[in-house]
Chain A
Amino acid sequence: NAGVTQTPKFQVLKTGQSMTLQCAQDMNHNSMYWYRQDPGMGLRLIYYSASEGTTDKGEVPNGYNVSRLNKREFSLRLESAAPSQTSVYFCASTDYNEQFFGPGTRLTVL
């Protein structure tokens, strides 16, 4: 039981490049989330998916797109990366009360 896994762990992009952050969970959870965390700050919700086939915007969705590929996988895409998107990205899933977080992806946009 791996819980929530994220790939890659680290990534450096140039401004304007695109990339997809991958997230998978093996706990059969319906709801999944993407957060970002800037230095010294708490996490902020980007997008979430209450169930397979549905996605909704969170607090800071601009510049991102998501895909809930199936019940296990929830990906986050940056179409044209900007330096303001330099952050640590966390994926999470929930079993009704407790959210389980992945280890994070550290993204730097130059």
Chain B
Amino acid sequence: DAKTTQPPSMDCAEGRAANLPCNHSTISGNEYVYWYRQIHSQGPQYIIHGLKNNETNEMASLIITEDRKSSTLILPHATLRDTAVYYCIVRVGGGSQGNLIFGKGTKLSVKP
């Protein structure tokens, strides 16, 4: 079973920030938080990952709470093309250690 809990769906207005929450209360000390998204029926796409520090890249920001029991993915200026299912996954980092276990994710709908 997935080790994360996410809301099944969220809406966001185009141009606004989308904040997607994830609970992972049983995360272990050596497990990273990963985010992927799946647009329509395409293969999932990596977004970002982190261990305990906040992370930012060209796609998004990842905020991890100090106790590491929850995190938030932030898309700073959502566009219609960001409409997708977003998966929050915890796993041991690196290679084949700890394969990705996908839950049902959050379906984000960005509306004009």
Contact = CB atoms under 8 A, between A and B. Distances in A.
A42 B103 contact: yes
Task: Classify chain B's interface size.
Answer: 20 to 34
Contacts, number: 59
A50 B95 CA distance: 8
A49 B42 CA distance: 22
Interface of A is mostly: strand
Interface of B is mostly: loop
A31 B102 contact: no
A102 B105 contact: no
Interface residues of A, number: 30
Interface stretch (B9-17, B19-27, B44-52, B73-81): B44-52
Given A42-B2, A42-B103, A94 B43 contact: no
Interface string A21-32: 000000000110
Contacts of B42: 101, 103-104
Interface of B: 2, 36, 41-46, 49, 87, 93-96, 99-105
